[in-house]
Structure 1
Amino acid sequence: MQFVLIDQGFHWSDAQFLLVGAVHTLMVSILAGAIGTIGGIMLGWLRHASSGVRIVTAPYVDITRSVPLIIQLILVNSALSMSGTGFSTFWLSIIVLSSSMTVVTSEVVRGALSTVPYAYIRAARSLGIGYFQTLVHISAPLAFRTGLSAWIGLLLGLTRDTALVSVVGYVEFMKSAQILISRTNETLPLLLGVGLFYFVICYPVSRYSAHLQKGLAS
């Protein structure tokens, strides 16, 4: 009896497999980040403007902030499976990640709006400037300067958290690398590649954020 050894080395087709995983990671990061940021701005403004909204939304905000993201992914996946809802793993990942991003962004927005000196708002009101004009021209620009750094940190954290969506079966970059590691046993090169990938994405954003903040402060 002859045994045929299967070539378990790294092939060029594996590079394409990693590229697809990288695209998946970027798609989830961009879409969940955009949805979460828009939703977070709206929710944060409403929670700052109305104590009633703050009370009603408090359970959702507290639970989402307290429960680890990986558990949220598993619970939502289980709930959708039991309900028979036909969500793809991509959209399931978007729902959970954008929900988390919405909540943490809302807290940044609410906190940033709370730092706007009330004297500025009162002065605008005394000049006959309406609420929304005051919000757009005074409160929002000042809050943007205060909350920008924290929001960038949330965005970078979201990009790294995309590695967790593999628990629901979505094959993003980290999952692609894990599959290849199990086949090729090339652990160190692949993990170094994963680390480099996230560094290439996150570092320029971080540096641009620092440059932007310096420009706003001057």
Structure 2
Amino acid sequence: MSAYSGLSWSDLLFLLDGAGKTILLTALATLFGTVLGIALGWLRDSSRLVGWIVAPYVDVTRSVPLIIQFVLFNSFIAIAGYPLNPLWSGTIVLSSYMGVFTSEVVQAGLQAVRPELRRAGRSLGMGYWTEMRYVTAPLALRVVFPSWIGLVIGLTKDSALVGVIGYIELLRASQILINRTNEAILILLGAGLFYFIICYPISRYSQTLERKLKQ
């Protein structure tokens, strides 16, 4: 490798470390964002008042570019005197972003369940939570799951923007190597391969789970 490009095996390890940080950031943001999105989506479906209250938060998060959200959040917490590690700053912003879009998907999934089925469950003596667990949630999951997987894959790629606040994930690591070696094509091909390795198994496994949900 070094005979042709000036790269060394330590550079490959540097890229692998960046890929590991991308996976960690994506996993944390997916976990917290999904929990937030489920709660927010359920509340918005259950109460018009809640939907009206959180509408500004949802609209702003969806409309403002993610890179601006990273910069503003990181600047505000620094000005407030509570600077955070770039990992946690990125996790908070990405979780909020993921939560908003997940809430949209969850709300759409809940609304896709026919009211007649909900009423049928209640007429059989089920309480609200029992009906939600055995009737509404399983049916809504079939609608929500494919879209949620798309959000996770998109979140993996959006995590590259966290480099703007100093987190050295996969793309930022690639940029550092490009600046040192001037081998943009080779390094970006390697970074793209790593993103493919991360995202493709998620997509394939989701297709298997989706078929099981439809059985």
Tell me if TM exceeds 0.5: yes
Of residues 1, 6, 10, the one that matches 1:9 is 6
Q: What is the distance in 1 between the residues matched to 2:83 and 2:75?
A: 12
Q: What is the distance in 1 between the residues matched to 2:206 and 2:104?
A: 19
- Tell me, yes or no, if structure 1 residue 188 matches structure 2 residue 185: yes
- Tell me, yes or no, if structure 1 residue 141 matches structure 2 residue 138: yes
Alignment match, 1:88: 85
- Tell me, yes or no, if structure 1 residue 156 matches structure 2 residue 156: no
Alignment match, 1:5: none
Shift of 1:217: 2.0
Q: What is the distance in 2 between the residues matched to 1:103 and 1:195?
A: 27
Shift of 1:171: 0.6
Q: What is the distance in 2 between the residues matched to 1:125 and 1:86?
A: 50
- Tell me, yes or no, if structure 1 residue 67 matches structure 2 residue 64: yes
Q: 2:163 touches 2:169 (CA, 8 Å); kept in 1?
A: yes
Post-superposition Cα deviations, 1:152-202, rounded to whole Å, max 9, x if no partner, equal 000000000010001111110110011001101111111001111111111
TM-score, length of structure 1 as denominator length? 0.94
Residues 160-171 of structure 1: pairs in structure 2 closer than 5 A: 160-171=157-168
**Runs of 4+ off more than 6 Å:** none
Residue type of the alignment partner of 1:216: L
User: Which consecutive unaligned segments of at least 5 residues does structure 1 have?
Assistant: 1-7
Q: What is the distance in 2 between the residues matched to 1:16 and 1:199?
A: 18
Alignment match, 1:213: 210
Of residues 37, 44, 49, the one that matches 2:34 is 37
Residue type of the alignment partner of 1:43: L
Q: Indicate the RMSD between aligned Cα atoms, in angstroms.
A: 1.1
Alignment match, 1:102: 99
Shift of 1:82: 1.3
User: Which consecutive unaligned segments of at least 5 residues does structure 2 have?
Assistant: none
- Tell me, yes or no, if structure 1 residue 57 matches structure 2 residue 54: yes
Q: Secondary structure at the match of 2:126?
A: coil
Shift of 1:216: 2.0
Alignment match, 1:27: 24
Size of the aligned set, in residue pairs, is 211
TM-score, length of structure 2 as denominator length? 0.95
